[in-house]
Amino acid sequence: MRTFDGVCRMVEQGAGIGIVPATAAKRYRGTSGLRTIELSDPWATRRLLICMRELNALPRAEKALVRHLAGI
């Protein structure tokens, strides 16, 4: 599937199971008997990264956002 919503719709139609972020699952929780189970295994923890070319080359607002998100 190309989107998390697509995965949820596929599961809703009975085509198996899916693993999606909590925000996507929350939108579909309780619809048509769809159930969610939160994963707690270490492999389920997402590692998010910020991608950019050069921090100092970013405009002021973007630089501030990166610093805030990265805690630098």
pTM of the model: 0.59
| Distance separating alpha carbons of residues 27 and 2, to the nearest angstrom | 17
> What one-character DSSP code corresponds to residue 15?
S
Given the structure tokens 């972020």, which residue do they identify? Answer: 21
> What one-character DSSP code corresponds to residue 72?
-
What are the domain boundaries of the chain? 4-70
> Cα 32 vs. chain centroid, distance in angstroms?
22
pLDDT tens track for 21-70: 888 888 877 776 778 888 989 888 888 888 888 999 999 999 999 999 99
> What residues contact residue 20 under an 8 Å CB cut-off, 6+ apart?
4, 7, 8
